Amino acid sequence: MPIAIKMPALSPTMEEGTLAKWLVKVGDTVSAGDIMAEIETDKATMEFEAVDEGVIADIAVPEGSEGVKVGTVIATLAEEGEDPASVKPASADAAPAPAPKDEPSAQAATLTAASAPAPSSSPAPAASGDRVIASPLAKRIAAQKGLDLSSVKGSGPNGRIVKADVEGAQATAAPAAAAPAPAPSAAPAAAPVQAQDFGIPHEVEKLSGMRKTIARRLTESKQQVPHIYLTVDIRLDALLKLRSDLNKALEAQGVKLSVNDMLIKALAKALVAVPQCNVQFAGDQLLKFSRADISVAVSIEGGLITPIVADAGAKAISAISTEMKDLATRAREGKLQPSEYQGGTASLSNMGMFGIKQFEAVINPPQAMIMAIGAGEKRPYVVDDALQIATVMSATGSFDHRAIDGADGAQLMKVFKELCENPLGLVA
């Protein structure tokens, strides 16, 4: 029977997307794993893979279409033995509700979605009797990873197991990824903002999906998360000296450390040292993470994205530097995969390169803290009871007061300051 190919949910926050480009046409034969289209989400442009084999019988949504709801039928696939010319285009079912925003970060790492919508609370069984129904690609991935398909629930047609199900099962089994419980119910939606131009000359610019998502998430964060802000001044002279020495030693390897690379490491080590701050509020639960995955704010055209340096506390600063350069480059090119920007246990936002002395960042939900870094500048500073000129920066931690007490936040800021002022601890 014909297979309906539907607009996938490629991230937990995705409700609609733009079908940027079709890479197949009617009459083309596709196999599981073939790239069929490029889809723009609220964060990046992603490739959409086929999960079944067959012939493209109909393309219902032309490339360039914006605002295509998740679950909308975008094409129809004729299975083996069917005449594509006689296949009727699949009818569009009601689009399913988008995945919860606080879906476990590891499960959100599924890079391509099945042609069917995400499973409901009572998914169809993946097997019929002793026979497991799965796509060839799902079977191949499961065989490579040693995963028992009989334990996986399928979200494809008739309960078929597809690639997204296998990857989701793998992510669920990973011990390092703790799944947050659903966040409390959102506050009632505010009334739409009415434009008022007052006769002033202006132009209207339509908001991108990314900007809409940023607006919604930051509004929710400020409305629902009680922020507490703690600021410390940090003397950077020793850290800058160590950075210079390390860069000389690493020059032959083509690695050049930035101050930001060292601050990522410092925040990660501070979170491990003060685990009371490496947490997440989840309703009537508190998730306590055993490693520090640092989301780093990167400015891109049209918005902001936060690629993640996983387990940054256990990585060498040179490894963090190399990883961040790659992540930042691909972030600006729109080529990050969801697993590379969804999740994280805390965030770091550095506006020092813009000359900003101090600022208070908005927490990136569902995380419970973010570190805001200001510019290092020459200031009068008391050193050994004497007034001297030192390079000093201000760092402000924003904490979710539901999960982190002020004293614990202060302890984290103290450890972060000590690591920056005595930076040999970052390479120990």
- Residue 94 pLDDT level (bands cut at 50, 70, 90): very low
Please name the residue ranges forming H helices in 184-236: 209-224
- Residue 180 pLDDT level (bands cut at 50, 70, 90): very low
Least confident of 53-57, 80-84, 203-207, 343-347: 80-84
Phi and psi of 112, rounded to 5°?
Answer: -135, 145
The mean pLDDT of 115-137, rounded to a whole number, is: 47
Of 91 and 148, which is predicted with more confidence? Answer: 148
Angle (nearest 5°) at CA 13 between 8 and 19 = 40
Instruction: Burial-class residue 195 by CB neighbours within 10 Å (0-12, 13-18, 19+).
Output: exposed
Can you say how many angstroms the Cα of residue 59 is from the centroid of all Cα atoms in its chain?
30
The amino acid present at 365, given as its one-letter code, is P
**Domain 210-426 belongs in CATH node 3.30.559.10:** yes
Choosing from 153, 212, 216, 401, which is the catalytic residue? 401
Stated length of the chain: 428
Of 411 and 81, which is predicted with more confidence? Answer: 411
CA neighbor of 110 nearest in space, from 74, 138, 73: 138
The mean pLDDT of 308-326, rounded to a whole number, is: 97
Q: What is the pLDDT of residue 246?
A: 97
Q: What is the pLDDT of residue 52?
A: 83
pLDDT digits (tens, 9 = 90+) for 15-69: 888 888 899 999 899 888 888 898 887 667 778 888 888 889 889 999 888 889 9
Least confident of 124-138, 218-232, 311-325: 124-138
Q: What is the pLDDT of residue 188?
A: 54
The dihedral through the CA atoms of 71, 73, 75, 76 has a sign that is: positive
3-state DSSP assignment of residue 32: coil
Q: What is the pLDDT of residue 99?
A: 40
Whether residue 297 contacts residue 304, with contact meaning beta carbons closer than 8 Å, is answered with yes
Longest dimension (CA), the chain: 88
Domain spans, the chain: 3-173, 210-426
Distance CA 123, CA 126 (A): 9
Two tokens at 220?
Answer: 């929710």
Q: Which fold has domain 3-173?
A: OB fold (Dihydrolipoamide Acetyltransferase, E2P) (2.40.50)
Of 425 and 118, which is predicted with more confidence? Answer: 425
Whether residue 235 contacts residue 421, with contact meaning beta carbons closer than 8 Å, is answered with yes
- Is pTM beyond 0.85 here? no
CA neighbor of 44 nearest in space, from 260, 319, 295, 327: 327
202 is catalytic: no
Query: What is the number of alpha carbons within 13 Å of residue 315 lying toward its C-beta?
Result: 24
Angle (nearest 5°) at CA 259 between 258 and 262 = 95
Residue position matching structure tokens 């539907």: 6
Please name the residue ranges forming H helices in 333-368: none
